[in-house]
Amino acid sequence: MDAAELAFAGIHRQAEALRGGAVSSTDLTEMYLERIGRFDGVLNAFRVVLAERARAEAAAADRRIAAGETAPLLGVPIAVKDNVDVAGEVTTLGTAAYDRPATADCAHYRRLREAGAVLLGKTNLPELAIWPFTESPTWGRTRNPWNSGRSAGGSSGGSAVAVAAGLVGAASASDGGGSIRIPAAHCGLFGLKPQRGRISLMPEAEHWLGLSVAGCVSRRVIDTALWLDAAAGSEPGDADTPPAPERSWVEAATRSPGSLRIALTVSVPRPVAPPIVSGEVKAGVERIATLLRSLGHEVVERDPEWGGVGNDITPRYLGGIAAEGRQVPNPGRLEARTRGMIRLGRLLPGRALRRSLGAEAGHAERLSRVLGDADLLLMPTVGTVPPEVDRWAGKGALRTLMSISRAYPCTIPWNYTGQPAASVPLPPERPGELPLAGQLVAPSNREDLLLSVSTQLEAEIGWPERVPGGYE
């Protein structure tokens, strides 16, 4: 593989190349550091690049490989979103309100480190991971590599841009309302929101009152599967502990799903304001449905019974933000819009939050009826193509909340119910076009189905071979 091919190869192929002696961890790391230096000044994917640390870890990995050691990610460079605690590094959560280094690795990063990964740096996110765009007064604007005037999505926008532009093979992400799937959709990547609790959030038992999960963004489905194999698993104190899979996630990704029955909808719930689903987005979902039929699956149109789920999602979202706001050590350094969101959460009547939490089981049961006679649900990931950078600049908390709820109504219901969902990309077919995507939703604990079907779609669509112009 030449340098450009290696940059976009993904962590699974890179791990194989390292084990086979085709490349060294030092060479991989230096290649990525060079690309970060060349491209990230425009993209702003990384909050901090840990170059010397990465070089030292790569050299240590090369020595271990030479000695015959093996580990799933030994010598593979990765990046982590800057809400992941790495001992000795500040976890900023996209803001200037945090300034003390973490005293210990969080469970997610500890498992990646133990699997042998080399840490290149930490990626940008909006303040407290609140928004579906990655822009903040402290760390600036993160730009989409397909079109630098467009948003990368959020809140895992920095991670998605780093992977999409070939600055790293995979990067950690988190999802409390769509923050894995939205930037994956906007940047032409695969993004799986795992089952709630699949990757431990410790030292937090849960985040945003159970809405948030941890995962990654990747170019290839098998890269996400390998990440799960390395990082998934429960820790003492976790609020949610899903059952372990019957087989490895990599094996699940490489198995045929058989012939499935898939429900199709372009309807979406109303979280705060009337939702928007553009004609381009609907056409993209229909394209994926056509491909699924060509692969031997039965696709039937059926709308979920959304009911009033949007009414109960919003209090939990705002309540989670308010709870996080109480932990910020320097709240006066938060941007005004973030402080406004925290105030909105604190103004919620206690009964509204109790109702939201108590209604989860009923909403989950009703929404799951669409999967009663179908294996998966296909629907939009986002309501529109990537919006312009600064689309929400200068707007207050309530105006921004109302507006984003219209453009991004499709993902948060599955955070509320906790079940897995994945965004599969439709990369641009012609120069100047923007990525599209569709969302696949599975029953509880069935990430294996999402990985298997998404691998089929990846082979049919060929999205890993499509990279943004100028980054080849």
Q: Are 129 and 153 in contact (CB under 8 A)?
A: no
From the candidates 179, 212, 423, 452, give the one annotated as an active-site residue: 179
- Give the integer Cα–Cα distance in Å for 348 and 358: 16
Q: Are 187 and 149 in contact (CB under 8 A)?
A: no
Q: Is 81 a catalytic residue?
A: yes
Q: Is 179 a catalytic residue?
A: yes
Distances (CA, A) of 413 to 220, 281, 309, 310: 25, 18, 7, 8
Q: Are 125 and 82 in contact (CB under 8 A)?
A: yes
Closest CA to 160 of 437, 400, 384: 437
Q: Is the dihedral of CA 6, 172, 413, 456 positive or negative?
A: positive
- Give the integer Cα–Cα distance in Å for 435 and 447: 24
The string over 241-271, giving b where at least 16 C-beta atoms fall within 10 Å of a residue's C-beta and e elsewhere, is ebeebeeebbebbeeebeebebbbbbebbeb
Closest CA to 31 of 55, 64, 65, 56: 55
From the candidates 24, 136, 151, 155, give the one annotated as an active-site residue: 155
Residue 365 CB: number of other CB atoms within 10 A? Answer: 11
From the candidates 25, 81, 151, 200, give the one annotated as an active-site residue: 81
- Give the integer Cα–Cα distance in Å for 312 and 384: 24
Enter the tokens of residue 62.
């090369």
Q: Is 155 a catalytic residue?
A: yes
Q: Which residues are tagged catalytic?
A: 81, 155, 179
